[in-house]
Amino acid sequence: MIPPKAFAISKPSATQLAAALSVILLLCGCSTPTSHHTRQASVAPAQLRRALNIALSWPSPSRVDALKGALLFHDGGSVSEPELAIARAVLRTNPRLAAAPALLLAVVTARDARANGLPPEFLAATLLQESAYDVEALSSAGAIGIAQFMPDTAAEVGIDPFDPLDAIGGAAQLLGEYVEQYRGEYEDPYQTALAAYNAGPDAVERYGGVPPYHETQEYVELIFDRWARIASYERFR
């Protein structure tokens, strides 16, 4: 298992910088409450370098301070963006994850889901079920990382299962291909895609849909429940 410090990014790639920029823009887009005081409160200037440092690493709360006000991602009313709804679901499921990396992973999830024709909430629900967004998750069967790729599947997709950003993209690609393949062939391509992700496409073909495995049927049901819960955090316009 890779130690937590291995996830610290000293030289961020273009993809990581783009994701971090998306996080900052999302944060800057949040409105602030109107003050009714006659004296204007002083506001400290935004420390973008500090924000980037936190967003581009995987800090442990015991060693690294989080962004001020980050608890707002965990609590509050309905939100207008899927990224914020996903971050809330991640933080409520995995209390070991700090708010800034949770938001970064949520932004990457939404971006990669859209790029592969998937609802962001669907991909997020799948990753929550697979690993609770634990970037170091390792199953007894040998599944690795945030998307729980088996080594041979990861090699086929062409991703590094230990790299959470790479693995999110790989999961989005694989699920997107399954959904597209099963669309029109089965009544619900999302259920069938999840069954293929869990039990393999051969099992789906053999049984003509979701196989009669208790584990797979429960897996699909739990992800649909998580999907609905994430959507319930959103304020639809």
**pLDDT tier, 61 (very low <50, low <70, confident <90, very high otherwise):** very low
Quote the domain boundaries for residue 77: 65-232
Residue 191 belongs to a domain with what CATH number? 1.10.530.10
**pLDDT tier, 62 (very low <50, low <70, confident <90, very high otherwise):** very low
Q: Cα(73)–Cα(122) distance, rounded to whole angstroms?
A: 19
Q: Quick one: pLDDT at residue 33?
A: 45
Q: Which residue has the tokens 């959904």?
A: 179
Q: Quick one: pLDDT at residue 31?
A: 44
Asked if 123 and 112 touch (Cβ cutoff 8 Å), the reply is yes
Domain count, the chain: 1
Residue 21 lies in a domain: no
Residue 194 lies in a domain: yes
Among candidate residues 83, 121, 130, 136, the one labeled active-site is 130
Distance of CA 174 to the CA centre of its chain: 15
Could you tell me where the DSSP H helices lie in 75-188?
82-93, 99-115, 120-131, 151-157, 164-182
Q: Cα(161)–Cα(217) distance, rounded to whole angstroms?
A: 25
Higher pLDDT, 99 or 200: 200
Checking phi first, is residue 132 left (phi over 0); if not, alpha (psi -120 to 50) or beta?
left
Sign of torsion over alpha carbons 57, 59, 65, 71:
positive
Residue 8 lies in a domain: no
Residue 52 lies in a domain: no
In order of 2, 88, 89, the CA distances from 137 in angstroms are 10, 20, 18
**pLDDT tier, 52 (very low <50, low <70, confident <90, very high otherwise):** low
Q: Is the pLDDT of residue 235 over 90?
A: no
Q: Could you give the 3-state DSSP secondary structure of residue 39?
A: coil
Q: Cα(123)–Cα(128) distance, rounded to whole angstroms?
A: 9
Q: Cα(203)–Cα(31) distance, rounded to whole angstroms?
A: 48
Tell me the β-bridge partners of 138.
Answer: 144
Told to judge if 130 belongs to the known catalytic residues of this protein, a careful annotator would answer yes
Residue 22 lies in a domain: no
Question: Which contiguous run of DSSP H or E holds residue 28?
Answer: helix 14-28
Residue 110 lies in a domain: yes
